[in-house]
């Protein structure tokens, strides 16, 4: 038995939604609390499955975690000596669990973290995490499915150039470097807003980080950090999801508690698709055309077009007035969902990391299955643009990244239900 989302289309989405805190930030912020003994409080926390998983992981490391989903707040009491082993049963469910590696090495001088799992969207090796920590004096090996890190004499600052602006590697190295002796420089660092959020929290804890928001981070190590209260930035990927939902269904959606500056490229592309886009300081509104124009998109690290919104571009082009090209430069296996979209009548031709999508006048409902968070949400929205009934399986993926997804859809006028099947 599993949960299935049943979508009856076509349906036009109209109304307003409020964006919660960012999934891709809060999980790392929770890991960062390991760097300081005492109680840290994180607010604007989304009620998603991944937060519950990270809370349990921290409990197993000896922390007392009080997660109040109704108040959107998590309080984490970190002991003087945290545990140092992150178990496989939790790490396999969520790749972000690897973010405890840097803090544990910095605090405990030892860490044993199971090799991670997560979404099936392509290779995301740990080589850059490993090389960055090794440059700081850490000895790392892999044994029985665990990454084992040890630095008996403590971390020392180093200069490290990332081969690619990896978000996860930037985060792990930056967090570890806050308690290292000397100065650490990360060149070709990722620049995502979520990394800026983490860096600002670390600075509130007493870290010394310069270059925040640029591709060169300079971290001067300190002896200790202090617990803090920190508010999570809005989730730009959730905000982008609702923007595309308006474009794909020909609707009109006001997106609240969102920073349009974090979605400049996305909103520009939606304007090219024929949407009317209005921005303000704390949100934006997207009004979709009766049928969108096709757009060409290449995914890139921030500030480029985010890979997490790539499935929605494919879905938009599938109902567009012509042909659009999408190029995936970040995760090579992110095309897996296109075969499911094709079951709805989408015309997609793949060639390496390119996809050519020919728009059709109307999709048709069919059973489909999600294999990652964003693909799941994109399939549901595509179902809203289709004639008849679409059943989406694999909805546990959606639970990992979207707070009250069904409530938000119904509030916008969607005919959706969730049932056991």
> What residues act catalytically?
119
Residue 100 contacts residue 28 (beta carbons within 8 Å): no
- Was 24 annotated as part of a binding site? yes
For every residue of 30-80, DSSP letters joined together read HHHGGGSSEEEEEES----HHHHHHHHHHHHTT-EEEEETTTTEEEEEE-S
The label of the residue with tokens 């049928």 reads 291
Which tokens sit at 245?
A: 């939902």
SS3 content of the chain, % helix, strand, coil (to 5): 35, 30, 35
Residue 122 contacts residue 307 (beta carbons within 8 Å): no
- Was 95 annotated as part of a binding site? yes
- Was 191 annotated as part of a binding site? no
> Would you put residue 413 in left (φ > 0), alpha (ψ -120 to 50) or beta?
left
Decide the pairing of beta strands 386-393 and 3-9.
Answer: antiparallel
Which tokens sit at 316?
A: 């938009």
Which tokens sit at 44?
A: 């604007």
If DSSP codes are grouped into helix, strand and coil, which group holds residue 399?
Answer: helix
CA 282 to chain centre: 20
Strands (E) in 81-228, as ranges, are 85-86, 110-114, 139-143, 146-150, 159-161, 183-187, 208-210, 216-220
- Was 296 annotated as part of a binding site? no
Residue 349 CA to residue 127 CA, distance in Å, equals 32
Cβ neighbours, 10 Å, residue 144: 8
Which tokens sit at 253?
A: 């959606």
Annotated binding site: 23-24, 95, 308, 330
Annotated binding site for UDP-N-acetyl-alpha-D-glucosamine: 95, 308, 330
Annotated binding site for phosphoenolpyruvate: 23-24
């Amino acid at each position: 038995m599993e949960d299935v989302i049943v979508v009856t289309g076509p349906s036009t989405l109209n109304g307003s939604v409020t964006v919660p805190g960012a999934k891709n930030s809060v999980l790392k912020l929770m890991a960062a609390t390991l760097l300081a003994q005492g109680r840290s409080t994180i607010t604007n926390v989304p009620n998603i499955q991944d937060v519950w998983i990270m809370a349990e992981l921290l409990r197993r490391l000896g922390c007392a975690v009080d997660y109040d989903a109704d108040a959107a707040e998590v309080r984490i009491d970190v002991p003087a000596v945290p545990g140092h082993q992150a178990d496989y049963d939790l790490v396999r469910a969520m790749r972000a669990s690897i973010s405890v590696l840097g803090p544990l090495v910095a605090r405990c001088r030892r860490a044993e973290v199971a090799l991670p799992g997560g979404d099936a969207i392509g290779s995301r090796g740990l080589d850059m995490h490993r090389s960055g920590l090794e440059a700081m004096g850490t000895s790392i090996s892999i044994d029985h499915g665990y990454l084992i890190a040890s630095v008996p004499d403590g971390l020392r600052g180093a200069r490290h150039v990332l081969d690619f602006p990896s978000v996860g590697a930037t985060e792990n190295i930056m967090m570890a470097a806050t308690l290292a002796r000397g100065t650490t420089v990360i060149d070709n660092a990722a620049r995502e807003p979520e990394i800026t959020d983490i860096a600002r929290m670390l600075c509130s804890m007493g870290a010394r980080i310069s270059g925040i928001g640029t591709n060169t981070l300079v971290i001067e190590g300190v002896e200790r950090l202090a617990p803090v209260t920190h508010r999570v930035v809005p989730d730009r990927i959730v905000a982008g999801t609702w923007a595309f939902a308006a474009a794909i269904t020909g609707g009109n959606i006001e997106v609240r508690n969102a920073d349009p500056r974090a979605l400049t490229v996305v909103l520009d592309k939606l304007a090219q698709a024929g949407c009317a886009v209005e921005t303000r300081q704390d949100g934006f509104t997207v009004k979709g055309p009766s049928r969108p124009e096709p757009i060409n998109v290449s995914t890139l690290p921030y500030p480029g077009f985010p890979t997490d919104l790539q499935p929605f571009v494919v879905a938009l082009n599938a109902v567009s007035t012509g042909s659009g090209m999408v190029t995936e430069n970040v995760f090579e296996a992110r095309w897996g969902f296109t075969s499911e979209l094709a079951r709805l009548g989408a015309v997609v031709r793949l060639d390496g990391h390119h996809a050519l999508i020919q728009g059709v006048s109307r999709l048709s409902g069919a059973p489909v299955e999600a294999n990652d968070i964003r693909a799941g949400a994109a399939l549901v929205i595509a179902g809203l643009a289709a004639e008849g009934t679409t059943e989406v399986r694999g909805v546990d993926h959606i639970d990992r990244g979207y707070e009250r997804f069904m409530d938000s859809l119904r509030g916008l006028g969607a005919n959706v239900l969730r049932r056991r099947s």
